[in-house]
Amino acid sequence: MTATLDLPTGETVTPDDVFAYDGYPYRFRPLDHDEYDFLLSPLYWGDSGMDIPFTNTDALADQWDDSAGVKTADEWRAWLADARDDHRFGDDELDALAVELGLADPSTLDDRSVLARVRDALPF
């Protein structure tokens, strides 16, 4: 049986589903823990100490504020376009998120550094 989480928006997600929480794409992960029922894991930064544990869905609702929940592919495209103009997000992070969200082909990503790409684009 697949674990599910009822978001404060009324949507139900599984650990495979991506949703917007606090302006960023997340997945939920159920926990077998004495204190916490589940955690929210940022899509790019998951398992990096940035996961957010919750004791229950009421605790999530208390912290939900204006989070959006599940987004369509077009809504994620718009979010990525806006995020490209936000200094908090790097190109590598956004490129990886686009792939994870199914909006980009991983074979099209350039593994070279930004500096190498700029240097190659210069006319000398």
Summarised one tens digit per residue, pLDDT across range 80-90 is 999 999 999 99
Q: Give the span between the Cα atoms of 122 and 96, in whole angstroms.
A: 25
Tokens 């809504």 belong to residue = 75
Q: Which of 10-14, 53-57, 86-90, 120-124 has the lowest mean pLDDT?
A: 120-124
pLDDT at 117: 53
Q: What is the pTM of this model?
A: 0.81
Residue 45 confidence class, pLDDT cut points 50, 70, 90: confident
For the record, the structure tokens of 13 come out as: 């997600």
Residue 47 has pLDDT above 90, yes or no: no
Residue 116 has pLDDT above 60, yes or no: no
